[in-house]
C-alpha cells in the first residue's frame, strides 16, 4: 500500500494508519461524523488484524476517561469524537493535558447544537481550544494520514508528553473518497519510535497522579504546563522536518500558497483551504495580487511563523468557521490580531465568519470574501462580518 495511492474514504484511511502505528488501546463511542473511524478500527480488531485492546464505552466522557487510564499505564492510546461528544469530554480534557498524557484524538469537526446539526464547522474544537491540547488541522486525506503518524511522535516526545487534537472536517473530509498513500507498518515503525512513558502506573513502582494542589503551588503548576505547550512548537517543527526527509512530503506550522508579491492574503484552516487555492489561481490569472496562508497548527499558536509570512502584505483576511458569541467574530481572527498587534509593518486584519453548519463556500464565494475582507480592513466601524447570511 505504500507504493501507490489507494482510493478510500478518509476515515477508513485514518483507521488503517492508526493500525500501522501499533496502538495499544482504543476507547471509543460513536458519534456522527466520526463513527466510521472507530467503526473500521473495531472491524480491524475483530478480524484479528490489530494487536490492541478495543474498549467500547457507554459515553464520550467514559472514552476519554478510559484513555487516560491506559495512557497513565504507558500504553499508546487513540480515540476519536466530534461536536457534542467532544464537549461531553470537556472536564476530562483539562485533566489529560495537565497530567501530561500523550493521547491522540481525531476530531471529525462538526457544528455544535442548537439547532441540531451533524454537519461540519470548527465550533467543537474552538470550544475546547484552551484545554491544553496541541491542535493540528488537516486539509485532505493524505494530510490526515501523515499527521496521524506525526501526532503520536509529537505527543510521546519526552519534552512534550501532551495530548493532540487531529482535526479533519466532518463530511467535507471525513466521508470523502480520495487517493491516499498509506505508509506501511515497517515505514511507520522506522519513523515512530517505541512509546516509553517515563512514569507509568505500575504496582511495583507506585506513583502519584492527579493529587490535590493548594493555592501555594497551583499557579506554578499551570505556568509549567503553559511553558511545556509553548515549547512543544519546536518539537512539532522538528517532527514535520523529519517526516519530510523520510517520506518526501513537507509540512509547516503555517503553510503558504502564492504568497510572494501578494498584497492581500486570506487565512484559512482545514479542507476549505483547497477551494481557496483554486480561487487564488483564478484571481492571480486576472492580475490580482492575492495569496493564501493556512494554519496547520493552532495550538500552540505559531506567532513568529505567522508574522514572517504576512509582513509584506497590506491586508490579511481571516476566515473563521466558528462564531464567538458576544465577542469580536471568530476565535482565529482574535488570535491573529493579538499576534500582530502593536508591531510595525504588519497588515490590517479583517475577520469573516462563514461556512457554519457545513455550508459550502465555493470559489466564487471566496472571490467575494476577498472583496469583503478588503472593505472591512478599511472600515473601523465593524469588528467582523458574517458571509452568506440569507436575507
pLDDT digits (tens, 9 = 90+) for 11-25: 999 999 999 999 999
As a whole-number percent, the residues of the chain with pLDDT over 90 amount to 95
Instruction: Read off the pLDDT of each residue in 276-300 and give the average, rounded to a whole number.
Output: 98
pLDDT at residue 193, as a whole number: 97
The overall average pLDDT reported for the chain is: 96
Q: Which residues of 276-301 are buried (b: 16+ CB within 10 A; e: fewer)?
A: bbebbeebeeeeeebbbbbbbbbbbb
Domains of the chain, start order: 6-247 (3.40.50.970), 254-386 (3.40.50.920)
pLDDT number for residue 186: 96
Q: What is the tens place of the pLDDT at every residue in 24-33? A: 999 999 999 9
Q: Identify which of 266, 256, 276, 297 has the alpha carbon closest to the alpha carbon of residue 360.
A: 276
User: Of 15, 185, 160, 167, which is closest to residue 82 (Cα–Cα)?
Assistant: 167
How much is the average pLDDT of 249-274? 98
* Per-residue pLDDT, 2: 55
pLDDT in tens, 162-215: 999 999 999 999 999 999 999 999 999 999 999 999 999 999 999 888 889 999
Phi, psi of 330 (to 5 degrees): -110, 150
pLDDT at 190: 97
Q: Of 72 and 1, which is predicted with more confidence?
A: 72
What's the average model confidence in pLDDT over 272-289? 98
Q: How far apart are CA 321 and CA 269, in angstroms?
A: 9
Which of the residue ranges 221-235, 252-266, 275-289, 369-383 would you say has the lowest mean pLDDT? 369-383
pLDDT over 70 for what percent of the chain? Answer: 99
β partners of residue 106: 80, 166
Is pLDDT above 60 for 333? yes
What count of other Cβ atoms lies within 10 Å of the Cβ of residue 184? 12
pLDDT at 355: 98
Quick one: average pLDDT of 265-279?
98
What pLDDT is recorded for position 210? Answer: 85
- Evaluated on CA atoms 208, 211, 216, 219, the torsion sign reads positive
Half-sphere exposure of 223 (CA within 13 A, CB side): 5
Query: How many Å apart are CA 140 and CA 316, to the nearest integer?
Result: 24
What is the reported pLDDT for 379?
86
What is the pTM (predicted TM-score) of this model? 0.97
Per residue in 82-131, pLDDT (tens digit) is: 999 999 999 999 999 999 999 999 999 999 999 999 999 999 999 999 99
The answer to whether the Cα torsion of 269, 274, 279, 282 is positive or negative is positive
pLDDT at 380 over 80: no
Q: What is the pLDDT of residue 1?
A: 47
Q: For residue 197, what is its C-alpha cell?
A: 512513558
Cα separation of 88 and 374, whole Å? 39
Would you state the pLDDT for residue 238? 98
- Judge whether residue 70 has pLDDT over 70: yes
Instruction: Assess contact for 360 and 384: CB atoms under 8 A.
Output: no
Average pLDDT over residues 43-47: 97
Q: What is the Cα Rg of the chain in Å? A: 21
- Tell me if residue 335 falls in helix, strand or coil: helix
**Rounded distance between C-alpha atoms, residue 142 and residue 5, angstroms:** 9
Amino acid at each position: 500500500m505504500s507504493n501507490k495511492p489507494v482510493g478510500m474514504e478518509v476515515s477508513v484511511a485514518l483507521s488503517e494508519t492508526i493500525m500501522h502505528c501499533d496502538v495499544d488501546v482504543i476507547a471509543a463511542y460513536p458519534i456522527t461524523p466520526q463513527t466510521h473511524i472507530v467503526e473500521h478500527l473495531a472491524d480491524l480488531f475483530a478480524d484479528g488484524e490489530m494487536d490492541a485492546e478495543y474498549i467500547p464505552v457507554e459515553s464520550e466522557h467514559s472514552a476519554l476517561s478510559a484513555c487516560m487510564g491506559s495512557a497513565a499505564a504507558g500504553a499508546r492510546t487513540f480515540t476519536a469524537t466530534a461536536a457534542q461528544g467532544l464537549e461531553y469530554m470537556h472536564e476530562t480534557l483539562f485533566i489529560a493535558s495537565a497530567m501530561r498524557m500523550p493521547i491522540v484524538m481525531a476530531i471529525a469537526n462538526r457544528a455544535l447544537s442548537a439547532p441540531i446539526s451533524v454537519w461540519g464547522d470548527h465550533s467543537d474544537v474552538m470550544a475546547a481550544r484552551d484545554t491544553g491540547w496541541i491542535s493540528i488541522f488537516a486539509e485532505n486525506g493524505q494530510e490526515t494520514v501523515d499527521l496521524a503518524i506525526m501526532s503520536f511522535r509529537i505527543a510521546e516526545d519526552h519534552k512534550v508528553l501532551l495530548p493532540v487534537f487531529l482535526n479533519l472536517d466532518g463530511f467535507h473530509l471525513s466521508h470523502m473518497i480520495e487517493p491516499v498513500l498509506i505508509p506501511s507498518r515497517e515505514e511507520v515503525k522506522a519513523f515512530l519510535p517505541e512509546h516509553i512513558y517515563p512514569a507509568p502506573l505500575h504496582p511495583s513502582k507506585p506513583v502519584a497522579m492527579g493529587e490535590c494542589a493548594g493555592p501555594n503551588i497551583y499557579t506554578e503548576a499551570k505556568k509549567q504546563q503553559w511553558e511545556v505547550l509553548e515549547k512543544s512548537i519546536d518539537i512539532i517543527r522538528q517532527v514535520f522536518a523529519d517526516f519530510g526527509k523520510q517520506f518526501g512530503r513537507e509540512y509547516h506550522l503555517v503553510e503558504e500558497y502564492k504568497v510572494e508579491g501578494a498584497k492581500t492574503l486570506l487565512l484559512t484552516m482545514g479542507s476549505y483551504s483547497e477551494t481557496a487555492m483554486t480561487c487564488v489561481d483564478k484571481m492571480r490569472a486576472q492580475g490580482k495580487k492575492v495569496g493564501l496562508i493556512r494554519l496547520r497548527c493552532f495550538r500552540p499558536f505559531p506567532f513568529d511563523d505567522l508574522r514572517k509570512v504576512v509582513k509584506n502584505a497590506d491586508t490579511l483576511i481571516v476566515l473563521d468557521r466558528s462564531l464567538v458569541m458576544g465577542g469580536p467574530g471568530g476565535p482565529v481572527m482574535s488570535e491573529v490580531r493579538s499576534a500582530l498587534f502593536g508591531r510595525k509593518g504588519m497588515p490590517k486584519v479583517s475577520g469573516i465568519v462563514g461556512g457554519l453548519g457545513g455550508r459550502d463556500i465555493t470559489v466564487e464565494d471566496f472571490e467575494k470574501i476577498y472583496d469583503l475582507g478588503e472593505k472591512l480592513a478599511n472600515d473601523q466601524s465593524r469588528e467582523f462580518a458574517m458571509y452568506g447570511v440569507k436575507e
